[in-house]
Structure 1
Amino acid sequence: MTIPQLTTEQLEAARAAATEARRRRADLKSKVRTGALTLSQALEIAADDDILAHVKVVDLLKALPRVGEKRASVVMERLDIASNRRIRGLGRHQVAGLKAEFSER
């Protein structure tokens, strides 16, 4: 199978779409980092949005205050979430586990 040759306009449109997707994903993580969104809210927003659903779970967890690489990996291992899993690939029990783990106390 060969890669299709794209016109200059198609390449520019693809680049613009990819840039916009990266900005939206970064914005979601930034809002989680600053506390504007809770993890639960971020998961609900991402579930309804095809672009945000591609955020890696570990990246979203590391955006939370006081959660680093170690704690994120421990929580993901306990909830049986693969390290390369994206939000879209989470099961309902995994989502419920994450919400319970990081609910506001």
Structure 2
Amino acid sequence: MKGPPMAIPQLSSAQLESAREAATQARRARAELKEQVKNGTVSFTDALGRAVGDDTLSRIKVIDLLRAMPRVGVTRATEIMENLQIAPNRRIRGLGRHQIDRLNELFS
């Protein structure tokens, strides 16, 4: 049995602005990490380690981080995900310890 529908909280314009700013900062942080992997300033394993320990960065999809790597496109990223039995829509924070270990082994 379901209770009454939950009311959506009404946010003040200041709260909305604050939430928008926080979301923008989070997107920037995730984009910056992927860019650093792409241009080689951060290795995949370092990026993965950083993302695992950071609530904002852990929301990056695994496939997006793989695709940020040089010479890894859609096909290769998909193959890696399938070989390691990682769901296509999995985010870094949803990875198990063994999946993280296998990703690290693959790129170390």
One-letter code aligned to 1:100: E
Dislocated runs of 4+, deviation >3 Å:
none
Match of 1:76 among 69, 74, 81: 81
Equivalent positions of 1:58-73 (< 5 A) are 58-73=63-78
Q: What TM-score comes out, normalization by structure 2 length?
A: 0.93
Aligned residues: 103
* Amino acid corresponding to residue 91 of structure 2 in structure 1: R
**Which among 38, 41, 48 is matched to residue 43 of structure 2?**
38
- The answer for the alignment partner of 1:97 in structure 2 is 102
Partner secondary structure for residue 4 of structure 1: coil
Structure having the higher Rg: 2
1:17 aligns with 2:22: yes
List runs of 5+ in structure 2 lacking aligned partners: 1-5
Decide which of 59, 62, 65 is 1:57's aligned counterpart. 62
Task: Letter of the 1:95 partner, please give it.
Answer: I
**How big is each residue's C-alpha offset from its partner over 1:14-56, in whole Å with a ceiling of 9 and x where there is no partner?**
0000000000000000000000111110011111110000000
Report the RMSD for the aligned CA atoms in angstroms. 0.7
